[in-house]
Amino acid sequence: MTSVLLIDDDSVFTDLLKRQLEKSGLRCTTAIGGQDALLKMDTDQFDYATLDLNLGQDNGLAYIPKLLEKDPQIKIIIVTGFASFQTAVDAIKLGAWQYLPKPIRAKDIMDLLRDTPLPPPASLPALDALEREHIQSAMQQCNYNISKAAHLLGISRRTLQRKLKKRIF
C-alpha cells in the first residue's frame, strides 16, 4: 500500500487531506512541522511526503535534505500557499519531486501518484530468478528426471525442456 507523510503546521488541513487520501486507498500519517516529520520517519517508511514551505517559524525548504537523508527514495511534493518561481526552482534543486500551489485537493495528489508508479521494492528477487530456483528445486527433488519434474511443476515435459534450454541451470 502506498504511504504518504503529510507535513504541515495546519492540523485541520492535514487531517482533512488525510481522510480524503485514505478513502482513495493510501496509508497516510500526519506530522505537525518538520521535527515531528523527522521523528515519524525514524519509526516508519513512506513512499511520498507532502511538505508545506511555511511551517510556522520553520522554512520547509530546510527539511527537504533532512527528509532525503532519512530516506533517499522518498518523493517529496512541495505544497505551498506562497508559490513562486524561485521557491519552485529552489525546492527542485534541493531534491523535491513535485511542487503544487495551494489550494490543493486530494484529487491533485492522487493524479500525481497515479501517473507515477512506484518501482518494485529492491528486496524482491526478479521473477526469472524465482522461476529458475523453483525449477532447480523440482529437478533436484526428481533426481533430474525431466518427466517427473514437469509433472511436479504442473507443466508439460516439452515446456520444461524449453525453459531449461533457454537458461543454463
Q: What is the pLDDT of residues 66-113, one digit of tens each?
A: 999 999 999 999 988 888 888 888 999 999 998 888 888 888 888 887
Cα separation of 5 and 79, whole Å?
Answer: 12
Take residue 166 and report the three cell numbers written for it.
Answer: 533457454
Judged against a pLDDT cut of 60, whether residue 119 lies above it is answered with no
All structural domains of the chain? 3-115 (3.40.50.2300), 127-166 (1.10.10)
25's CB contacts (< 8 A; 6+ apart) are 1, 2
DSSP H helices in 50-169: 63-70, 85-94, 106-115, 127-141, 146-153, 157-166
Q: How many CB atoms lie within 10 A of CB 49?
A: 29
Pairing of strands 58-59, 54-55: antiparallel
Give the per-residue pLDDT at 68. 94
pTM of the model: 0.65
